Structure 1
Amino acid sequence: MAGHSQFKNIMHRKGAQDIRRARQFAKLIREITVSAKQGLPDPAANPRLRAACAAARQSNMPRDTIERAIKKAAGVGGSEDYVEVRYEGYGPAGIAIIVEALTDNRNRTASDVRTAFSKHGGSLGESNSVSFMFDRIGLVRYPAAAASADAMLEAAIEAGADDVLSSPDGHEVICAIDEFFAVRDALEQRFGEPETAKLDWRPTTTTTLDEDAARAVLKLIDALDDSDDVQNVYANFEIPEAVMQALDA
C-alpha cells in the first residue's frame, strides 16, 4: 500500500481540523453535475453519476441535495459548463503532484493552482511532467467486514480485477481503468455498495518525508485543496507515523 497511507493520514489530520462541510459538498455537487451532464441523469444508467452519488452519500450529503443537483444538471441552461483539467508539478522535497479540477474558468483555476505551488515551495510543470511516475488505476474499497480476504480476492479476479490488497483496515481492489465499471458493478452485486469506487493515480515509487518536509508538503496540499475548483490531489510521498504524531502535537 505504498503511496496510499499518506492520504489516510491527511484525511485524519484534516478531520481533526474540522474541514468545512460546505466546501466538500460543493466539490461533490460539481462532480454530480458534470457526471449528469455528460451522460444520462439516471444513476442506474450512468456509471460515473452512480459513483458520484455514492461518494456523496458516504459524505452524508442529504438525498434531496443529491437529487436537486441531478435535476439542475439535466435542466436546459440551468447549470454551469464545467470542464475537466489536470495540472502537474513538483512540491517541496521534489515530490510529484497531480491536481485534478472541474472548472468553468480555466484562467482562474490555473492562476489559483500556480499561486498555491509558488507560495508553498513548489513549481507548476507542463502536462505529463510527473504523471509518468504514477499508474492510472481503478480502485474499489470495501471495509474488512465485507468479506474475508480469500472471498474478496476470488470475487475480484472473477470480475476482472488485477489485484486485491487486504488488511485489517479493509480491502482495496485494483483494476485497469477500462475494467473499472465492470469490476465495481460485479463486486457491488455480491458485497453491496463499496466505501469508495473511483479512478485513482497510484505512485509507482514514494519519497519518505521528515518533519520539516512533511509540514511544507501538507501546507501545499491544503492550499491546493482549499480551491473550490480542485477535486483531487495526488502525490508520491509517505509520512511515517512518528512524524505525523509530531505534526499533530
Structure 2
Amino acid sequence: MAGHSQFKNIMHRKGRQDAVRSKIFSKLAREITVAAKSGMPDPAMNPRLRLAVNNAKAQSMPKDNIERAIKKAQGGDGENYDEVRYEGYGPGGVAVIVEALTDNRNRTASNVRAIFSKAGGALGETGSVAFMFDRVGEIYYPAKAGDADAVMEAAIEAGAEDVQSDEEGHTIYCAFEDIGEVSTALEAALGEAESVKAVFKPQTNTPVDADKGASLMRMIDNLDDDDDVQNVYANFEMSDEDMAKLSA
C-alpha cells in the first residue's frame, strides 16, 4: 500500500501518544493567526480561518486559545509569519515537501537543511519535487463516521474524487478548489470532519525498504518537531510488513 496514507495514520496514532500538546497548540495557533491576518477575522467570512479553527477544535484546543490567536492578528502586535515551502529528497530518494510558517527565514532554512543533511537527504530548489505532487483537498473522518461503503457513497454524492479507508478511518480527497463545497456536503451527511485541509498528494510513490523507511520516519519526525514546520509530505511506499514494524 502507498505510504502516504499509512504514514498519516501512523503519525495520527503516534501523535496521540507522544506529542506535547503545547507544541501542537502552538502550531495551530500560528496557523489561525496567519489565516486571520490574510482575510476577515470572522471564520464565517474567511474560509482559511474557518478550516484552521475547525482543525484546532478537532485537536481539543481550548476556545480561549483560539480566540486569543484571532485577537493577536486583529491587534497587529504579534509576529509576522512568512509562509515558506521547502522541497528536497530524503533517504531512498523519496521526494519531500515541507511547509513552514516562520518569523525568521534564515533560522528555519538552516534548521530544515540540517535535518535533511543529517538523514542523508538534500534540499533542492523550489519546484524541484512539487511537480510530483497534486495540490488537493483532504478531509479525514475517524472510523466511527461509518463503514467504508457508507462513507464512499457520501463522498461521491459530495463531489469527492477518491476515498481511502482502513481500520483507523477514512481519508477523502477532492479538487483543491472544491474543499469548501465538498466538506460542507460531507458534514451534512457524516457530521463534522476531524480535519479539513489542503495537502500535497503524491502522484506516484517511491518504494523504500525497512532501513530506508526507518531513516525517513526519523527525518520526518525531526522536521515535525521543529516549531516552524507545519506540514510534511513524502511520496514513499513500503510493504505492509515493514509499515507494521515501524508503527509498533
- Give the structure-1-normalised TM-score: 0.90
Amino acid at match of 2:101: L
* Aligned residue number for residue 200 of structure 1: 199
* Aligned residue number for residue 100 of structure 1: 99
| Shift of residue 161, structure 1, vs aligned partner | 2.2
SS of the residue corresponding to residue 205 of structure 1 reads coil
**Matched ranges for 1:88-127 at <5 A:** 88-127=87-126
Q: Would you say the 8 A contact 1:177–1:199 is kept in 2?
A: yes
| Shift of residue 192, structure 1, vs aligned partner | 2.0
**Matched ranges for 1:108-187 at <5 A:** 108-147=107-146, 149-187=148-186
Q: Would you say the 8 A contact 2:161–2:174 is kept in 1?
A: yes
Is residue 2:19 matched to residue 1:9? no
SS of the residue corresponding to residue 185 of structure 1 reads helix
Amino acid at match of 1:177: F
Equivalent pairs counted in the alignment come to 247
Deviates further, 104-113 or 145-154: 145-154
Measure, in 1, the Cα distance between the counterparts of 2:16 and 2:167: 21
Amino acid at match of 1:130: V
* Aligned residue number for residue 52 of structure 1: 52
| Shift of residue 248, structure 1, vs aligned partner | 6.2
* Aligned residue number for residue 32 of structure 2: 32
SS of the residue corresponding to residue 4 of structure 1 reads helix
Over the residues paired in the alignment, what is the CA RMSD in angstroms? 2.1
* Aligned residue number for residue 68 of structure 1: 68
The structure-2 alpha-carbon separation of the partners of 1:166 and 1:4, relative to structure 1 and needing over 3 Å to count, comes to closer
Q: Would you say the 8 A contact 1:6–1:239 is kept in 2?
A: no
Is residue 2:240 matched to residue 1:227? no
The structure-2 alpha-carbon separation of the partners of 1:12 and 1:161, relative to structure 1 and needing over 3 Å to count, comes to closer
Measure, in 1, the Cα distance between the counterparts of 2:12 and 2:192: 21
Measure, in 2, the Cα distance between the counterparts of 1:50 and 1:245: 35
Amino acid at match of 2:49: L
Q: Would you say the 8 A contact 1:5–1:238 is kept in 2?
A: no
| Shift of residue 11, structure 1, vs aligned partner | 3.5
Measure, in 2, the Cα distance between the counterparts of 1:235 and 1:150: 28
SS of the residue corresponding to residue 198 of structure 1 reads strand
| Shift of residue 201, structure 1, vs aligned partner | 1.1
Structure 1, unmatched stretches of 5+, are none
Q: Would you say the 8 A contact 1:4–1:202 is kept in 2?
A: no
Measure, in 2, the Cα distance between the counterparts of 1:25 and 1:180: 23
The structure-2 alpha-carbon separation of the partners of 1:162 and 1:247, relative to structure 1 and needing over 3 Å to count, comes to closer
- Give the structure-2-normalised TM-score: 0.90
Amino acid at match of 2:13: H
Identity %: 56
